[in-house]
Amino acid sequence: METIEIITVVGARPQFIKAAAVSRAIGAYDEAGNQNRLHERIIHTGQHYDDNMSNIFFEQLQIPAPAVNLEVGSGPHGRQTGAMLERLEKVLLDERPDWVLIYGDTNSTLAAALAAAKLHIPVAHVEAGLRSYNRRMPEEINRVVADCLSTLLFCPTETAVANLEKEGVTKGVCNVGDVMYDSVLFNAALAEQSSDIMSRLRLEPKSFYLATVHRAENTDDPERLAGILAAFERIDKPIVLPLHPRTRKTLGQAVGKMSRRVNVIEPVQYLDMIMLERNARIILTDSGGVQKEAFWFGTPCVTLRDETEWVELVEAGCNRLTGPGTEKIISAIAAFEETGATLPPDRRENLYGDGHSAEKIAATLARHQGD
């Protein structure tokens, strides 16, 4: 029997949610008495650090506590990524794991990929192959580099596999489906039982819209942000807006001047979030993860971006890409209000795997030792 040492590097909110599913599968893999053992240690870069952007996810989703928190915090890209790189190198030199496991496309993803690759430690990338083909997004740069440096590329969709093939990357690529789907399946019933967000906010199912805005391209461009907020002002239903700290900082006092129909709240726990997504009439978002969760819950989604990595959703007709233009947002909402429908549940399950992505990832890591 061999023990395969895995160092998981996470740092930002969506990575905690993805890592929760895989950590659980790694634990279950060991309990099943397989030939090889998997041993995981989590490194938190400290990119997100507010309680409601970090700790609450570790607690609620029972993610093993990080072995180390690098406490890098916020900063410009170069400084933040550089500090992560320096601190991660030290940890990886000490630990010399068989795998460095990374998620998505944040600066934490990029730093971990670079630090590991330079030390000749193989990298496994969960959510590989996604592309917006917009290099102005920091995430696009992060994911292109991370994919380039990865030995195992766990894609969530066939589109992602095809994107990598276009770049000549085929070795180590496998479509395992989306770990966020595993997470929704695991937590949906739990959320129904334990979340009181609906009564706390005095919400009736399908009577409100849910919105999230945090993408740099929207928050850092006053014109784009103004276009989105003007649309919110025109909507005649209550809007729940769990506000990302980045956006709160940009908006400053403008938060208090928004229409009373817009309920600006602090970022919420995952189980509360999925209850809001399931019960919202329409979701407006520039988040990657929230677009897919909208789909899994059958809630129509208006995406406040010019392009999306999750093109299947747009093709399926349940996601409308509007960018930040007020009129476009309002017409997309009107179109959804008119049809009121999204995909039937039987088609919803096929776009992102079978809900066992994390198990496939654990089994693949156990089979390969970075070869």
58: alpha, beta or left? (left if phi > 0; alpha if psi -120 to 50)? alpha
CB under 5 to 8 A by kind: which of ligand UD1, ligand UDP, none does 245 bind? ligand UD1
Which CB atom, from 103 or from 181, has the smaller least distance to ligand UD1? Answer: 103
Q: Kindly tell me which of 106 and 157 has the beta carbon lying closer to ligand UD1.
A: 106
39 touches 67 (CB < 8 A): no
Residues designated as active site:
214
* Cα-based distances in Å from 365 to 123, 325, 350: 10, 44, 24
- Closest approach of Cβ 243 to ligand UDP, in Å? 8
Give the type of residue at 173: V
Q: Which does 50 bind (CB under 5 to 8 A by kind): ligand UD1, ligand UDP, none?
A: ligand UD1
- Cα separation of 120 and 48, whole Å? 27
State the nearest-atom distance from the C-beta of 57 to ligand UDP, in Å: 7
DSSP code for 207: S
* Secondary structure tally for the chain: helices H, strands E: 17, 13
Closest CB to ligand UD1 among residues 126, 366: 126
Pairing of strands 209-212, 173-175: unpaired
For the CB of residue 20, give the shortest distance to ligand UDP in the complex, in Å.
10
Q: How far apart are CA 355 and CA 178, in angstroms?
A: 7
Contact positions toward ligand UDP, by CB under 6 A?
13-14, 17, 212, 214, 242, 267-268, 270, 273, 287-290, 293
Among ligand UD1, ligand UDP, none, partner that 312 touches (CB below 5 to 8 angstroms by kind):
none
> Per the structure block, which two tokens stand in for 103?
């998620």
| Smallest distance, ligand UD1 to C-beta of residue 251, A | 12
Q: From the list ligand UD1, ligand UDP, none, which binds 249 (C-beta under 5 to 8 Å, kind-based)?
A: ligand UD1
Closest approach, Cβ 49 to ligand UD1, in A, equals 4
Residue showing tokens 């009129």:
327
Choose among ligand UD1, ligand UDP, none what residue 212 binds, the Cβ cut-off being 5 to 8 Å by kind: ligand UDP
Q: Which of ligand UD1, ligand UDP, none has residue 53 at its interface (CB below 5 to 8 Å by kind)?
A: ligand UD1
Alpha-carbon distance of 73 to 80, in angstroms, equals 7
Q: Which residue's CB is nearer to ligand UDP, number 213 or number 329?
A: 213
Strands 3-10 and 99-103: parallel
Distances (CA, A) of 213 to 264, 298, 335: 11, 20, 21
Residue with smaller CB distance to ligand UDP, 120 or 133: 133
Q: What is the DSSP letter of 256?
A: G
Which one-letter DSSP state was computed for residue 201?
T
Enter the tokens of residue 72.
Answer: 């890098």
Q: Please, what is the minimum distance in Å from the beta carbon of residue 68 to ligand UD1? A: 18
Q: Give the C-alpha separation, 297 to 319, whole Å.
A: 13
What's the rounded Cα separation, in Å, for the pair 53 and 14?
Answer: 9
Contact residues: ligand UD1, CB under 6 A:
12-14, 47-50, 53, 74, 105-107, 138-139, 214, 245-246, 249
